[in-house]
Amino acid sequence: MTEKYYFDTSIWLDFFEDRNEPNLPKGEWAHRLFNKIIENNDQIIYSDNTLYELKMLGYSEYEFDALLLPFKTILIYVQSTEKQISRAKDLSLKRNLPKRDALHALIARDNKSTLITLDKHFHRMGDIIKAQRPQDLI
C-alpha cells in the first residue's frame, strides 16, 4: 500500500539546502528519506502552507517547482481549507504553537499522511497526529 508523507517546511529546507550540522546530518536524512519514498513508490504531500513559508524565506514557487520537477510523479499538492485554517488558529492559541505549524499538522492528518519534522513542539499535537523524525524512517 502506498504511504503518504507530509514534510514540514524545515525538512524541505534541509533537503533543498543540504543543511547539515556536526552530529546532526539533517540534509543527509532528508535526502535519504526522499530516496526511500521514491524507491517505495510512496508519495509526498505539500501544501499552500509550505509554499507560503518557503516564499517568506526567499524561495519563489518557480524555484520550488524547478527543484522538484524530476520528482513530480510522487508529489501531491493540497490546498488548506478554511476549516483547517480556523482550527489551526484555535490550536495555536490554546497550545501556544506557531499557527502555521498547527496548520501543517491538520493538513497532514486530514490527508492521512505521516508528518515528518524535527521540531519538538509538534509533540504537543500528539492527539491530532503523530510526528516522525526523518532519521527514524530511513
Confidence of residue 123 (pLDDT cuts 50, 70, 90): confident
Q: pLDDT tens digit string along 77-108? A: 999 999 999 999 999 999 999 999 999 999 99
pLDDT cut 70: percent of the chain above it: 100
Strands 114-116 and 75-78: unpaired
Indicate the number of domains in the chain: 1
23/3 Cα distance (integer angstroms): 29
**CATH code of residue 58:** 3.40.50.1010
- pLDDT tens-digit map of 44-65: 999 999 999 999 999 887 888 8
Judge residue 124's burial from the number of C-beta atoms within 10 Å of its C-beta, 0-12 exposed, 13-18 middle, 19 or more buried.
Answer: middle
**Grid cell digits, residue 137:** 524512517
Range of the domain at 22: 4-137
Contacts 24+ apart (CB under 8 A), 25-28: 26/118, 26/134
- Is residue 107 within 8 Å of 47, Cβ to Cβ? yes
